[in-house]
Amino acid sequence: MRAEAVVDLAALRGNIRALRARTGPADVMSVVKADAYGHGMVPCARAALEAGATWLGTATPDEALALRAAGITAEQARVLCWLWTPDAPWERTVEAGIDISVSGGWALDRVLAAVRATGRSARIHLKADTGLGRNGAQPHDWPELVAAARAAEAEGLVAVTGLWSHFACADEPGHPSVPAQLTRFREALAVAEAAGLRPEVRHLANSPATLLLPESHFDLVRTGLAQYGLSPVPEVGGPDDYGLRPVMTLQAQLASVKQVPAGHGVSYGHSYTTPTDTTLALVPLGYADGVPRHASSTGPVLIGGKWRTVAGRVAMDQFVVDLGGDRAEVGDTVVLFGPGDRGEPTAEDWARACGTISYEIITRIGARVPRRYVGGSAADPVEGGGDG
């Protein structure tokens, strides 16, 4: 193998259990959008359900339909999908028993058209914009949306199964928008309840709110980053502080090791020049694989037990590391990031080095990198199961 992303499903299950222990009676929705933040959607969804998650969350309808196509039934998991456009596969989604987020009248109209076309009632979650400014109905539009949904429910066309919203700044403790959004969410719930809606779940919390704001848990929390074992609030605490373990390890085999003289330019643009006679190692991963070009001359890797830094530019398929005269062999393992307990950098270290967040580091790992699953269970056999 050139390179691989090792995905530890035992760690993922442990993370779900740690989150459930924290959220008490509230259920856990495992957010598996974007190919489970790069980890592989279906194996991660199955592992999360085994560990007690009862809901799955996706952004796009195609992601939600792929879960059902993989055999995850409505009895095994409710699936909520929240990013809709007019030409989305509304009918297939209604037929698949997927919960649909509705932020405005146009979306409710699409749902009702799909209900008429399929002869099946739909499950919908009304979304309020409590301050994020993305999707969701504004407070002045909320009563009308609620009334229209309630009328459709009375006709047996839909069931309003959820009321929900999303935080803007839950990762910044003390940010004034957090209590303001909680207040607006409670007001939106009160309007809906006064109109006669009795949803199965009211939900607001993402990973940072799940870890830091128990008052935001309501009936269900929607956890993405935390279930993949990374801290959404690295300034407040690391994974260990929350009982979490990073799930993905990104590693490769060195593709070249060679001696070069002092003053040798390295990679495009020669932004790095060897300061001494030294050894250069070639890592066969580049920005096509999701290694940020912003990691040029700053991304950390572990080779032969030592942290090294990317030397010069990250190219499409490869980057170079200056081993400072240390020996290494072609085929030796280079670890870009992992849980950290073998001394390797973490995705958080990469995020800091590249001026981004760990969400982006893991999610952008490209399709060219094969995923290898370890820590599978008997109930969920996967390649490499049991050796993690």
Ligand X SMILES: *Cc1c(COP(=O)(O)O)cnc(C)c1O
Catalytic residues: 33, 268
- Give min distance, CB of 124 to ligand X, in A: 15
Q: Is residue 295 a contact point for ligand X (CB under 6 A)?
A: no
Q: Which two tokens stand for residue 101?
A: 């987020």
d(CA 97, CA 380): 23
How long, in residues, is the chain?
Answer: 388
- Our CB check for ligand X shows the closer of 33 and 217 to be 33
Q: Is residue 39 a contact point for ligand X (CB under 6 A)?
A: no
- Our CB check for ligand X shows the closer of 189 and 220 to be 220
Contact 50, 58 (CB under 8 A): no
Q: Is residue 224 a contact point for ligand X (CB under 6 A)?
A: yes
Q: Is residue 137 a contact point for ligand X (CB under 6 A)?
A: no
- With CB under 6 A as the contact rule, the residue among 225, 303, 323, 353 that binds ligand X is 225
Question: Site for ligand X (CB under 6 A): how many residues?
Answer: 12
Q: Which two tokens stand for residue 354?
A: 């590249």
Contact 251, 335 (CB under 8 A): yes
Segment contacting ligand X by CB under 6 A, of 85-93, 178-186, 221-229, 339-347:
221-229
Single-letter amino acid, residue 73 = T
Q: Which two tokens stand for residue 330?
A: 């072609």
- Our CB check for ligand X shows the closer of 131 and 286 to be 131
Segment contacting ligand X by CB under 6 A, of 60-68, 112-120, 146-154, 220-228:
220-228
- Our CB check for ligand X shows the closer of 38 and 376 to be 38
Q: Is residue 223 a contact point for ligand X (CB under 6 A)?
A: yes
- With CB under 6 A as the contact rule, the residue among 31, 192, 201, 335 that binds ligand X is 31
- Interface residues for ligand X in 72-91 (CB under 6 A)? 82
* Nearest residue to the partner ligand X, using Cβ: 224
Segment contacting ligand X by CB under 6 A, of 113-121, 218-226, 269-277, 290-298:
218-226
- Give min distance, CB of 195 to ligand X, in A: 23
- Give min distance, CB of 151 to ligand X, in A: 26
- Interface residues for ligand X in 156-185 (CB under 6 A)? 166
d(CA 256, CA 251): 15
Segment contacting ligand X by CB under 6 A, of 42-50, 217-225, 266-274, 380-388:
217-225
Q: Is residue 232 a contact point for ligand X (CB under 6 A)?
A: yes
d(CA 290, CA 316): 9
- Give min distance, CB of 376 to ligand X, in A: 23
- Name which of 368, 388, 362, 381 is nearest 33 in CA terms: 362
- By CB under 6 A, name the binding residues for ligand X: 31, 33, 82, 166, 206-207, 222-226, 232
